[in-house]
Amino acid sequence: MILDAVQSVLISSGRSIGTIIPNVVIEEIHRDDLIVTDHPVEKGAAISDHAFKRPEEVELRCGWSNSVAGYEGYVDEVYEELLALQESRQPFSVSTGKRQYDDMLLSSLIVTTDASSEYALMVIARCRRVLIVSTQTTASKSADYYAQPQKMLGVTQRGLIQPKPISNPVYDF
């Protein structure tokens, strides 16, 4: 019973990094942040007038083993695939136990090897969504049009305006 519980948590079921399927997923860390902007106004008070969502990130701690594939060199092939996926800089999908992520890039790949894990590949893979936008070019007026702005805009008469003195000026920057 305990083995079944461990297998259901750890053994990769439907989890993938692009087309690469881990033999085991030890941990998934999902990150969703909302940034609230702060702007100082008058004597140090800060106002918050805007918020935006950062691209999602997910960190996967996963592993592969030569024994699962049945031949030596399997983990080396998987590692090369992960490096090639990162190097390609092409967005891919990531499937986890909680979510499906699209348009992801492999921003960080950490591999640890020691005496006990020589024939295994233990990876910490951090993926981040890239926001893909479409742009277009439009025609604008020539530079000559903008060279003389007085000809572009009409004149508005406001009458005679007198400057007013300021009483008790405060210059507290």
- 41 — phi, psi (to 5°)? -135, 145
pLDDT band for 6, please (50, 70, 90 cuts). very low
Cα–Cα distance for residue pair 95/59, rounded to 1 Å: 12
What is the share, in percent, of the chain residues with pLDDT greater than 90? Answer: 56
* 102 or 145, greater pLDDT: 102
Percent helix, strand, coil in the chain, to 5, is 25, 35, 40
Cα–Cα distance for residue pair 10/27, rounded to 1 Å: 8
Mean of pLDDT values over 113-121: 90
Amino acid present at 169: P
Query: CA-based angle 42:48:54, to the nearest 5?
Result: 140
Cα–Cα distance for residue pair 70/72, rounded to 1 Å: 7
| pLDDT (0 to 100) of residue 24 | 95
| pLDDT (0 to 100) of residue 1 | 47
Look-up: residue for tokens 């406001």? Answer: 158
Cα–Cα distance for residue pair 92/60, rounded to 1 Å: 15
pTM: 0.69
